[in-house]
């Protein structure tokens, strides 16, 4: 009996480098500084609040759009941080993670043949999300080594078919962040056009060096044509929760929810009850950037003993390091070799380019316990 014929929607997609490197790390017992997850405990207070919510009986479906108390807490946080009001009822939807929110936004608005500008290196879900919706990714490289956007190149790439620009700040994998001047360039480019924006802001609170986060929520004209996607898991160190949210204009959010209702419908209730209470204390998120910056700074200090050269990181869980002072290997070959020979897993940055562009840099995740970072660097100094 012959197997049924399958016409893949993503024929060029295989196993991601993250799965490959994490599997290799697990197989060899290597320190995993590749995949972006913390190995330290999340907030004990937040854990206790979830436990209490379950004991109090919040174990059934909440509203499709998310617990209203949580959405109201998020609306208040947005007002406090960015100085603009959003409506909890019509503009915020709770989702099972930030990646889901991005996929749902694209699926809600893209039509076959639409063009979507994607900046590379890019988080690995972006381009498959564009392709599976029948749209066309238009790839623009961020300028190496500071990974800034070349806005003149953006202008050159815009056509009558351009439907969306995808942003990511703080950026994964580079740790680069958008500045106020970037937002002004974006505003000028999209004004009086049909271009929409998808802004991936899952590391919203993990931003360093006293740099203000340039959310599209600061700019009502951008939010009117945009989706901003966030992750509770990333900022509160509980990536396994897979809980996030999307914020948009009422008109765009109506389309978002049409897709959401038939895909997820409702997210984990006890966690939403807990987060609604947790967010009432602003220190729950205002302290996060300084906490993670200490991790970045300590890792940089340790890495000063090695032959790796740091590139700037102003946010996220990650910092890129160049190895061109001591090897001509491809970044993938180097990543595999140091995992096998030195017991430290990292991610080759070429994996974040469709072209496989190799600038001889690898990504390290510093969102780890101090002893984990110390163990890793004690091995890397031997290279």
Q: What is the CA radius of gyration of the chain?
A: 21
pLDDT at 16 over 90: no
Residues 6+ apart with CB under 8 A from 15: none
Cα–Cα dist 292/203, whole Å: 11
Query: Mean of the pLDDT values across residues 149-154?
Result: 98
The 10s digit of each residue's pLDDT in 285-301 is 999 999 999 999 999 99
Number of H helices, E strands in the chain: 16, 13
Burial class (CB in 10 A: 0-12, 13-18, 19+), 122: buried
Burial (CB count <10 Å: 0-12, 13-18, 19+), residue 281: exposed
The owner of tokens 């004209």 is 221
Q: What is the pLDDT of residues 132-141, one digit of tens each?
A: 999 999 999 9
371 pLDDT higher than 90: yes
Contact present, 233 and 97 (Cβ < 8 Å) = yes
Task: State residue 1's pLDDT score.
Answer: 66
Tokens representing 126 are 């972006």
- In this structure, the number of other CB atoms found within 10 A of the CB of residue 55 comes to 10
* pTM, rounded to two decimals: 0.96
Residue 4 has pLDDT above 80, yes or no: yes
* Structural domains in the chain plus CATH codes: 17-42+286-380 (3.90.1150.10), 44-280 (3.40.640.10)
Closest CA relative to residue 125, chosen from 354, 317, 347: 354
Question: What angle (nearest 5°) sits at the alpha carbon of residue 200, between those of residues 43 and 294?
Answer: 40
Residue 224: predicted pLDDT: 98
Write phi, then psi, for 191 (nearest 5 degrees): -55, 135
Query: Rounded to the nearest 10 degrees, how much is the dihedral formed by the CA atoms of 324, 328, 330, 336?
Result: -90
Instruction: Determine the Cα–Cα distance for residues 324 and 328; give it in Å rounded to an integer.
Output: 6
What would the pLDDT profile of 305-319 be if each residue is shown by its tens digit?
999 999 999 999 999
- What tens digit of pLDDT does each residue of 21-71 get? 889 999 999 999 998 999 999 999 999 999 999 999 999 999 999 999 999
């Amino acid at each position: 009996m012959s197997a049924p014929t399958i016409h893949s929607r993503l024929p060029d997609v295989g196993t991601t480098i993250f799965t490959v490197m994490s599997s290799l790390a697990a197989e060899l017992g290597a320190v995993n500084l590749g995949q972006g997850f913390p190995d330290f405990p999340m907030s004990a207070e937040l854990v206790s609040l979830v436990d209490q919510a379950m004991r109090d009986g919040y174990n059934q479906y909440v509203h499709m759009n998310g617990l209203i108390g949580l959405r109201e807490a998020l609306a208040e946080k947005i007002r406090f941080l960015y100085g603009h009001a959003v409506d909890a009822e019509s503009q915020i939807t709770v989702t099972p993670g930030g990646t889901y929110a991005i996929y749902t936004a694209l699926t809600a608005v893209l039509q076959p043949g639409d063009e979507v500008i994607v900046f590379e290196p890019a988080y690995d879900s972006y381009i498959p999300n564009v392709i599976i919706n029948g749209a066309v990714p238009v790839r623009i490289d961020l300028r190496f080594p500071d990974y800034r956007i070349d806005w003149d190149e953006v202008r050159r790439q815009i056509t009558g078919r351009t439907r969306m620009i995808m942003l990511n700040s703080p950026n994964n994998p580079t740790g680069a962040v958008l500045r106020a001047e970037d937002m002004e360039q974006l505003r000028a480019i999209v004004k009086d056009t049909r271009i929409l924006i998808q802004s991936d802001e899952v590391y919203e609170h993990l931003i360093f060096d006293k740099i203000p986060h340039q959310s599209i929520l600061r700019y009502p004209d951008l939010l009117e044509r945009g989706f901003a996607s966030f992750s509770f898991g990333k900022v509160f160190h509980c990536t396994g929760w897979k809980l996030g949210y999307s914020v948009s204009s009422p008109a765009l959010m109506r389309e978002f929810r049409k897709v959401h209702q038939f895909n997820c419908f409702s997210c984990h209730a006890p966690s939403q009850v807990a987060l609604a209470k947790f967010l009432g204390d602003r220190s729950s998120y205002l302290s996060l950037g300084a906490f993670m910056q200490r991790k970045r700074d300590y890792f940089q200090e340790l890495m000063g003993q090695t032959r790796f050269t740091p590139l700037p990181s102003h946010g996220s869980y990650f910092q890129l390091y160049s190895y061109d002072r001591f090897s001509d290997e491809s970044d993938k070959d180097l990543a595999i070799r140091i995992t096998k020979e030195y017991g430290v897993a990292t991610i080759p940055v070429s994996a974040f380019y469709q072209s496989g562009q190799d600038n001889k840099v690898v990504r390290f995740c510093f969102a780890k316990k101090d002893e984990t970072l110390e163990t890793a660097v004690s091995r890397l100094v031997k290279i």
